[in-house]
């Protein structure tokens, strides 16, 4: 992993993920470590994403690193028409690592090709967000004690949700049984189902969000956004059909945990928050440990 960019979840092997996950456990036990003294990390947020940026900043600060950068392109030379190429060429002279978020897909791959320092993709449009996927894996492993042979339910927007696709690709390496619950318009794309079939993994598709979740070890909730629907009437009809309510959890498994990449809108009712099966806020905290593990692996400071 040393000096390697992390752009897509497929850039790292299964054994590399596992190393990062166990390193994150060490950071959870002891988060404050002065391993990045003298290191400068550029956080380039070409579009705002407060939670992701704060999570990275928290991770870097806990390891004693320094941060340069900007939190949206409005406050940078990008507004003056500078190309991404020029920005990356210049900034990579100033730092040891670049963390970047950009609205255009493929921007992080391009940056990693031209940068003289490694690049961590903190989201490139609807394409990839690998640190989110690793924190999802960490949350699953931490709550279930393992990653293998689990039953994973994914609910909501399975068509456009990038976190869902990356999670599917990562979990497909652990003999997972998948259940997809979504409206017809937002079904899991065929290419991912082809991948699962080629790996001999079981998946089931459901239109209704019902007591079928009794089998779940993990329920991964996502937002169903209005702008994803071609037919607004269809949206009105389905918007409340994929909402998780506390009473739906009555007959679910003891070990079940509810995950959500956040922010949520209305897809998990607030009464779920006090249920011990709700895990989404802790999941967000895990993001700091996982980012500490990723940064320190790439900079080879452990």
Partner 1 sequence: MKDKILEVSAIENGTVIDHIPPKAFFKVIAILGLDKLDTQMTLGTNLHSKKIGKKAIVKLSDVFFPDKDINKIALVAPQAKLNIIKNYDVVEKRVVEIPDDIIGIVKCMNPKCITNSEKIVTKFKVVSKKEVKLKCLYCEKITDQDNMQVI
CB of 176 to partner 1, least distance (A): 22
Distance between CA 160 and CA 211 in Å, rounded?
25
Query: Which of 50, 74, 75, 103 touches partner 1 by CB under 8 A?
Result: 103
Q: What's the DSSP call for residue 302? A: -
Which active-site residues does the annotation give?
51-52, 80, 101, 129
**31-39, 48-56, 73-81, 118-126 -> range binding partner 1 (CB under 8 A):** 118-126
Q: Is residue 65 helix, strand or coil? A: coil
Residue 132 CA to chain centroid, in angstroms? 2
Under the criterion CB under 8 A, does residue 239 sit at the interface with partner 1?
A: no
Contact status: 297 vs partner 1 (CB under 8 A): no
Cβ closer to partner 1: 124 or 267? 124
CA distance 25 to 12: 19
Tell me if 198 contacts partner 1 by CB under 8 A: no
Interacting residue with partner 1 among 5, 71, 128, 296 (CB under 8 A):
128
- Residue 259 φ then ψ, to 5°: -115, 155
Q: Which stretch binds partner 1 (CB under 8 A): 121-129, 180-188, 239-247, 263-271?
A: 121-129
294 prior amide bond cis, ω within 30: no
The four Cα atoms 176, 182, 185, 190 give a dihedral, to 10 degrees, of 10
Q: How many residues bind partner 1 (CB under 8 A)?
A: 18
Report if residue 296 touches partner 1, rule: CB under 8 A.
no
Q: Which of 13, 50, 74, 85 binds partner 1 (CB under 8 A)?
A: 85
Give the residue with the Cβ less far from partner 1, 8 or 286. Answer: 8
Query: Is residue 68 close enough to count as binding partner 1 by CB under 8 A?
Result: no
Q: Contact, 9 vs 137, CB < 8 A?
A: no
Buried b or exposed e, range 146-162, using 16+ CB within 10 angstroms:
ebeebbbbbbbbbeebb
The C-alpha atoms of residue 176 and residue 21 are separated, in whole angstroms, by 18
Question: x/- contact string, 33-62, with partner 1 (CB under 8 A)?
Answer: ------------------------------
Which residue lies nearer to partner 1 by CB, 19 or 193? Answer: 193
Encoded tokens for 224: 């169903």
83 part of the interface to partner 1, by CB under 8 A: yes
As to burial, measured by CB atoms within 10 angstroms (0-12 exposed, 13-18 middle, 19+ buried), residue 290 is buried
Interacting residue ranges for partner 1, rule: CB under 8 A:
8, 83-85, 102-107, 109-110, 124-128, 191
């Amino acid at each position: 992993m040393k000096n390697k960019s992390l752009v897509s979840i497929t850039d790292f092997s299964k054994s590399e993920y596992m190393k990062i996950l166990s390193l994150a456990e060490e950071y959870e036990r002891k988060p404050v470590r002065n391993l990045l003294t003298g290191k400068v990390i550029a956080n380039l947020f070409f579009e705002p994403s407060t939670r992701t940026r704060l999570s990275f900043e928290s991770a870097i600060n806990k390891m004693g690193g320094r941060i340069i950068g900007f939190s949206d392109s409005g406050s940078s030379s990008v507004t003056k028409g500078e190309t991404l190429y020029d920005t990356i060429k210049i900034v990579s002279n100033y730092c040891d690592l670049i963390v970047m978020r950009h609205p255009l897909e493929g921007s992080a791959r391009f940056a990693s090709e031209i940068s003289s320092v490694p690049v961590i993709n903190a989201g490139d449009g609807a394409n990839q967000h690998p640190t989110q996927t690793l924190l999802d894996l960490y949350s699953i492993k931490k709550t279930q004690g393992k990653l293998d042979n689990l039953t994973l339910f994914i609910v909501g927007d399975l068509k456009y949700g990038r976190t869902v696709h990356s999670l599917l690709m990562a979990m497909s390496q652990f003999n997972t049984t998948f259940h997809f619950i979504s409206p017809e318009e937002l079904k899991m794309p065929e290419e991912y189902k082809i991948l699962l079939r080629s790996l001999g993994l079981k998946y089931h598709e459901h239109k209704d969000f019902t007591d079928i979740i009794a089998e779940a070890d993990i329920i991964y909730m996502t937002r169903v956004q209005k702008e994803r629907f071609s037919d607004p009437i269809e949206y009105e009809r389905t918007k409340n059909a994929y909402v998780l309510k506390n009473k739906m959890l009555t007959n679910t498994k003891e070990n079940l945990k509810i995950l959500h990449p956040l922010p949520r809108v209305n897809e998990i009712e607030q009464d779920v928050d006090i249920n011990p099966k709700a895990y989404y806020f802790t999941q967000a905290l895990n993001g700091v440990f996982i980012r500490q593990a990723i940064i320190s692996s790439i900079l080879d400071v452990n």
